[in-house]
Amino acid sequence: MNNYEQVLVALRRVIRATDLHSKRLSKNAGLTAPQLLIMRTIRDLGQVTIGTIADKVSLSQATVTTILDRLEHRKLVYRVRSTSDKRKVHAHLTEEGADLLASAPQPLQEEFIQKFQNLHEWEQSMIVAALQRVANMMDADEIDASPLLDVGPVNREDGWKAQKKRQSG
């Protein structure tokens, strides 16, 4: 196999592993990876604002709000306006949300992070440089992405904007 074929096979394996994990998460817990991360953030931080959640999971506040809308509709989270500052809204897990979260699988990126951090610093730097170069070779430099291992855009608008930007640029 040529070197470029080996790279393409490795990329396909990463994409496939991410896809399989997303499907397993959806089947077992009925959640997407971003939903799981947002719920875990709410659990870990307690009474938390949407802005803080957005910062913690590296998503826009609008995207977090959309995801919270879906989770609230499923009665997994609820939101309460702050009594001290009416501009702030705090998210909380419901009991049902906490139970679902307790039985949900670990996000794929957490296992990756643990293994990555066990590598030597020089190995980490080589991987970062190589993957940044691959992203550049695939004209993906300008695609807005968060450190969530999930397939597809978090919402249609994000994916559409990235596609239009690539086509016009």
Could you give the number of structural domains in the chain? 1
pLDDT at 148: 60
Partners of 81 in the β-ladder: 89
Question: In terms of DSSP H, where are the helices of 46-93?
Answer: 50-57, 61-73
> CA 82 to CA 89: how far, in whole Å?
6
> CA 37 to CA 57: how far, in whole Å?
7
pLDDT at 108: 78
Please name the helix (run of DSSP H) or strand (run of DSSP E) that holds residue 80, with its range, or none. strand 77-81
Pairing mode, strands 89-93 and 77-81: antiparallel
Alpha-carbon distances of 39 from 11, 18, 32, rounded to whole Å: 29, 20, 11
Along the 169 residues of the chain, how does pLDDT read in single tens digits? 899 899 999 999 988 988 888 888 888 888 888 898 899 999 999 889 999 999 988 888 999 999 999 999 999 999 998 888 888 889 999 999 999 988 888 877 788 889 999 999 999 999 999 999 998 998 887 777 666 655 544 444 444 444 444 444 4
Q: What is the CATH number of the domain that holds 164?
A: 1.10.10.10
Longest dimension (CA), the chain: 64
pLDDT at 163: 44
The whole domain housing 94 covers 3-168
